[in-house]
Amino acid sequence: MPTCLASYNVCAIRLTRLFEDGEPDFGNDAYSVHVPISIAETPNTYEVPAIQQANGCGELCVDVPAITTNTGYALVVTLCDNDFELFAALSGGSTISTGGNVIGYAEPAAGVIPSPFCVETWQQTRQGDNVGTISGVQQYKVRVWPYVVFQREGVTQENATTPQLWNGTTGANDQIGATGPYGDWPGPVNGIGAEWYSSTLPAPFCGMIALAS
């Protein structure tokens, strides 16, 4: 039987660095988990033009409608914290350290292409007045984009908080593995995205850590 739950909030984002071909990077500084402020997702589309032809009497003898297809998504990831290790990885830059502590990051030289990332988000779920469950176990809605390249968006410094915005462009990834970088996906993601219910919610942390192979 299908389970239909409503989703709300966004309680975690997991960003996993990939090699250029889309395989997970099992080295150091491989992934990070945060509670974001927001994730905005806008489809990128391609329209196949309509084909229409009138006959000699002015009537349409061929009328093929236009077809719009989804080629990927434009993401805007808004973070609350300044995580310099993550920023360096997203941009292709480098960290700045003193006394063994990361205190900043330097943006890359012009023309440097940053590493792609796999991006996953977790939302809470409800079923009417109740927490969303399957077989009595609380569920979260997971949204996955298996291949995303980011660029930092501009910010405004003013009498307010300064959220950190990152623009991402998504694509398909046939090198991510049938169960994802962590072996916790319920099935392969062969297209530009997927979503499902999960009973686990990753814990946020600052910085990036290695991904166990």
Confidence of residue 213 (pLDDT cuts 50, 70, 90): low
- Give start and end residues of each alpha helix (H) in the chain: 84-91
Question: In which domain, by residue range, is 93 found?
Answer: 6-43+71-163+175-198
Average pLDDT, the chain: 95
Predicted local confidence at residue 211, as pLDDT = 74
Q: Per-residue pLDDT averaged across 21-30, rounded?
A: 88
> Alpha carbon 183 to chain centroid distance?
18
Assess if residue 190 is contained within a domain.
Answer: yes
Assess if residue 206 is contained within a domain.
Answer: no
Instruction: Quick: pLDDT tens for 104-144.
Output: 999 999 989 999 999 999 999 999 999 999 999 999 999 99
Instruction: Quick: pLDDT tens for 138-186.
Output: 999 999 999 999 999 999 999 999 999 999 999 999 999 999 999 999 9
Nearest to 85 by CA among 8, 33, 146: 33
Counting Cβ atoms within 10 Å, is residue 66 exposed (0-12), middle (13-18) or buried (19+)?
Answer: exposed
- Token pair, residue 39, equals 């994730």
User: Given the DSSP bridges, would you call strands 6-17 and 117-127 parallel, antiparallel or unpaired?
Assistant: antiparallel
Instruction: Quick: pLDDT tens for 95-104.
Output: 999 999 999 9
Confidence of residue 26 (pLDDT cuts 50, 70, 90): confident
Predicted local confidence at residue 27, as pLDDT = 80
Q: Report the predicted TM-score, pTM, of the whole model to 2 decimal places.
A: 0.92
Which residues, in sequence order, are bridge partners of residue 53? 62
Assess if residue 19 is contained within a domain.
Answer: yes
Nearest to 34 by CA among 203, 211, 213, 212: 203
Assess if residue 11 is contained within a domain.
Answer: yes
Assess if residue 129 is contained within a domain.
Answer: yes
- Token pair, residue 17, equals 């660095």
CB 114 within 8 A of CB 90: yes
Assess if residue 142 is contained within a domain.
Answer: yes
The structural domain count of the chain equals 1
Assess if residue 50 is contained within a domain.
Answer: no
Is 104 in a helix, a strand, or coil?
strand
Residue 87 CA: distances (Å) to CA of 39, 52, 82, 140, 194 = 16, 50, 8, 27, 25
Q: Quickly tell me which residue has 């990834």 as its tokens.
A: 173
CB 35 within 8 A of CB 11: yes
Assess if residue 28 is contained within a domain.
Answer: yes
Predicted local confidence at residue 212, as pLDDT = 64
